[in-house]
Amino acid sequence: MISNNNFNASMKKGLFISFEGGEGVGKSTQINLLKQFLVKKKNKVISTREPGGTKEGEYIRKFLVSGDKNAWDAYSEALIFNALRREHINKLIGPAIRNGEIVLCDRYVDSTIVYQGLVGQINRKKLLNLHETYCYNLYPDLTLFLDLNPMVGLERTKNRNNKNENRFEKLGLDYHQKILDGFNFLYNKFPKRIIKIDASQTKDVISDNINYHVSELLNIND
């Protein structure tokens, strides 16, 4: 028997969309714009983020995204991101999609595969196993990968409100180029699930492009 707070992928009926990409690519702006678009079309939508999303996750988030750049090793990080993700699925993502809602999530499993795996050098199979064992092997229906030159992205993060959340930004351009290469690797591997969006365009052009892809998935006609 499935307990209330355990997610069972076969019970899924909503839609789960993740946003991925490097730093400063404009994920949160685009999530807000997509949310407005979908709400106008009478959908129930929640937006959330990783690390975080739950009360406990948001509390632990600050230890992950701030402080010394070498504060954690990749394995510890991977375990924490998975623990927070499991809570996130149990408490928020799972119930929302079971309830027929659309979930927009700023980062999800692909970030772990790229940051801790392809760049952090943890064997990808080990990470996929963790996802399968502890996170119900739940993948988004659609992943929007915002593709932007890391030099432009890092420049944008300098103007952010929350200057404390800069642990990953401190890691330099080479690191962030590897992150971009990692997302491109996943995009080539999963071309059906992952759509690449040119994030160097204006915010409205990017948003129109995203609305087009999501509308296709939802069969929304204007």
The residue (of 48 and 111) whose beta carbon lies closer to ligand TYD is 111
Closest distance to ligand TYD from the beta carbon of 93 (Å): 13
Closest distance to ligand TYD from the beta carbon of 40 (Å): 25
Virtual torsion, Cα 16, 31, 86, 190, nearest 10 deg: 60
Closest distance to ligand TYD from the beta carbon of 215 (Å): 25
Q: Which spans of this chain sit near ligand TYD (rule: CB under 6 A)?
A: 23, 27, 49-51, 65, 81, 106-107, 111-112, 115-116, 165, 168
The residue (of 142 and 154) whose beta carbon lies closer to ligand TYD is 154
Please compute Rg for the chain using Cα positions. Answer: 17
Give the C-alpha separation, 52 to 31, whole Å.
Answer: 16
Closest distance to ligand TYD from the beta carbon of 119 (Å): 9
The residue (of 41 and 196) whose beta carbon lies closer to ligand TYD is 196
Closest distance to ligand TYD from the beta carbon of 19 (Å): 9
Other beta carbons within 10 Å of 197: 22
Closest distance to ligand TYD from the beta carbon of 67 (Å): 12
The residue (of 43 and 166) whose beta carbon lies closer to ligand TYD is 166
Give the C-alpha separation, 169 to 147, whole Å.
Answer: 17
Sign of CA dihedral 97, 103, 106, 111: positive
61 token code pair: 């988030």
Cα angle, residue 95 at apex, residues 93 and 100 outer, rounded to 5°: 95
Q: What is the DSSP letter of 171?
A: G
Q: What is the DSSP letter of 11?
A: G
The residue (of 100 and 172) whose beta carbon lies closer to ligand TYD is 172
Give the C-alpha separation, 58 to 53, whole Å.
Answer: 6
The residue (of 98 and 175) whose beta carbon lies closer to ligand TYD is 175
Sign of CA dihedral 204, 50, 143, 214: negative
